[in-house]
């Protein structure tokens, strides 16, 4: 009987010790997920600001081209409208190109940060109500 009570005490002690370890270091075993605030990344990223400057410069070039193509005394609006449509289409094409390029850069930066922090997955901050590791600042720093 003494051996049995000793064995039960040892098993209970081991279970309590395991529970204590799990409670103290439980986060090691739980999957981590990251959250990212894309608006914050865009606002704080030097790369996003650089791409925005490129887009603004291209817009200004297109406006200058339109103004140069239309002399003030020209009364025929059909040619002017066609030039404006072409310029606007070029602006939209360039904008889409920059957005696609920046999205790829964000995806690469998110992947690197997630790997460094050993995150299982990353979710947009707009979707998460509670929890997660915010990696927005780290991603913005990588996009310098």
Report the CATH number that the domain containing residue 105 is assigned in CATH: 3.30.910.20
Residues 95 and 126 in one domain: yes
Residues 118 and 67 in one domain: yes
Q: Are 46 and 143 in contact (CB under 8 A)?
A: yes
Residues 125 and 61 in one domain: yes
- Number of neighbouring beta carbons within 10 Å of residue 136: 22
Q: What is the pLDDT of residue 64?
A: 86
Residues 38 and 92 in one domain: yes
Residues 90 and 49 in one domain: yes
Residues 11 and 52 in one domain: no
Residues 79 and 127 in one domain: yes
Read off the tokens for 50: 């650089």
Q: CA torsion angle for 53, 55, 57, 60 (degrees, to 10)?
A: -140
Q: What is the pLDDT of residue 77?
A: 56
Q: What is the pLDDT of residue 2?
A: 59
Residues 12 and 48 in one domain: no
**Stated pTM of the model:** 0.69
Q: Are 38 and 122 in contact (CB under 8 A)?
A: no
> Could you tell me the residue range of the domain that residue 43 belongs to?
34-142
> Which of 100, 102, 98 shows the shortest CA–CA distance to 56?
98
Q: What is the pLDDT of residue 84?
A: 81
Residues 16 and 38 in one domain: no
Q: Over its length of 144 residues, how does the chain's per-residue pLDDT go in tens digits?
A: 556 677 677 777 777 776 666 656 655 555 688 999 999 999 999 999 999 999 999 988 888 888 887 666 655 556 667 878 888 888 999 999 999 999 999 999 999 999 999 888 898 988 888 888 899 999 999 988
Q: What is the pLDDT of residue 82?
A: 80
CA 11, CA 42: separation in Å to the nearest integer? Answer: 55
Domain count along the chain: 2
> Which of 67, 47, 45 shows the shortest CA–CA distance to 55?
47
């Amino acid at each position: 009987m003494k051996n049995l009570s000793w064995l039960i005490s040892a098993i209970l002690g081991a279970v309590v010790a395991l529970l204590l370890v799990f409670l103290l270091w439980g986060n090691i075993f739980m999957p981590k997920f990251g959250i990212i605030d894309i608006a914050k990344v865009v606002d704080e990223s030097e790369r996003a600001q650089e791409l925005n400057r490129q887009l603004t410069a291209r817009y200004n070039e297109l406006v200058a081209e339109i103004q140069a193509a239309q002399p003030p005394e020209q009364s025929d609006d059909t040619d002017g409208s066609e030039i404006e449509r072409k310029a606007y289409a070029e602006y939209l094409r360039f904008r889409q190109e920059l957005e696609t390029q920046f999205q790829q850069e964000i995806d690469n930066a998110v992947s690197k940060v997630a790997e460094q922090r050993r995150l299982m997955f990353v979710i947009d901050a707009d979707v998460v109500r509670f929890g997660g590791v915010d990696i927005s600042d780290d991603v913005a720093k990588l996009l310098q």
